[in-house]
Every structure is written in C-alpha cells, then in structure tokens.
C-alpha cells in the first residue's frame, strides 16, 4: 500500500508542479473563450496577480507532496486549491469535468486518507 501511496503522490504532485511551471513559462493550453462565463471569470483574475500567487502555491505544494517527509504540508497547501478547482468546474463551468479533474479529486482524497493519522492530531486534541 505504501508504494501505491508514493506513486499517487508523485503523480498528484507532478500535475501541480507542471501546471504551475507551465503558467510561468507561457506554455499553458488555450483557456476558455473570452465571451463565455469561465472566460470572463478567469479574465477577472488576470490583472490582479491572483493566478500567479495560486501557481506559486501549486509549485511549492506539488514539490512538497512528492517528498514523503513533507507530503502532509504539501497537502495542506494544495487542499484549498483542489477545492477551488472543484468549485470552479461545478459552479462556473457547470459540468466541464475531465479525467484530470477526477484524478485530482480521487488522489487528494486517497492521500488524505492514507495520512489520516497525521492529520488526526489537528482535530483530536484534548482540551487542557
């Protein structure tokens, strides 16, 4: 089971690492049409620098998830980004799911489940 966890973590981390690097090197695939709702949504973020911040977080989180010792910290960084991706495709794109989105969702849940004992300390603290 440990080897499966390492493989899924490597693929999950590489997806975010590559996505962040592609953004900065200008090799991103074309976005949605500008007159569509997703296009307008993304255009609203373009001048703010928000996407650059998210992509830096993706690079850092992806690199941390790949390494077993820092995997949990990487998951904490990437968790809000994964939720944002799910919400964007659920509310804005309205069903524009792809196999990559399914993998991101399942991989994040699997990695959280496999590291549940480490995360349990965040919620199972006894009051003093």
Q: What is the pLDDT of residues 28-76, one digit of tens each?
A: 778 788 888 888 988 888 889 999 999 999 999 999 999 999 999 999 9
C-alpha 93/C-alpha 50 separation (Å) is 19
State the pTM of this model: 0.87
The residues spanned by each domain of the chain are 2-28+38-117
Count of helices and strands (H, E) across the chain: 6, 0
């Amino acid at each position: 089971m440990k080897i499966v966890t390492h493989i899924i973590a490597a693929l999950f981390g590489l997806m975010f690492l590559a996505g962040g690097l592609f953004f900065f090197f200008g090799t991103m695939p074309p976005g949605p049409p500008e007159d569509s709702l997703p296009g307008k949504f993304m255009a609203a973020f373009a001048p703010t620098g928000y996407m650059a911040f998210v992509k830096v977080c993706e690079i850092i989180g992806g690199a941390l998830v790949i390494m077993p010792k820092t995997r949990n910290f990487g998951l904490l960084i990437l968790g809000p980004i994964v939720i944002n991706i799910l919400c964007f495709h659920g509310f804005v794109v309205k069903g524009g799911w792809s196999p990559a989105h399914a993998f991101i969702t399942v991989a994040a849940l699997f990695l959280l489940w496999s590291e549940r004992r480490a995360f349990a300390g965040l919620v199972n603290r006894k009051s003093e």
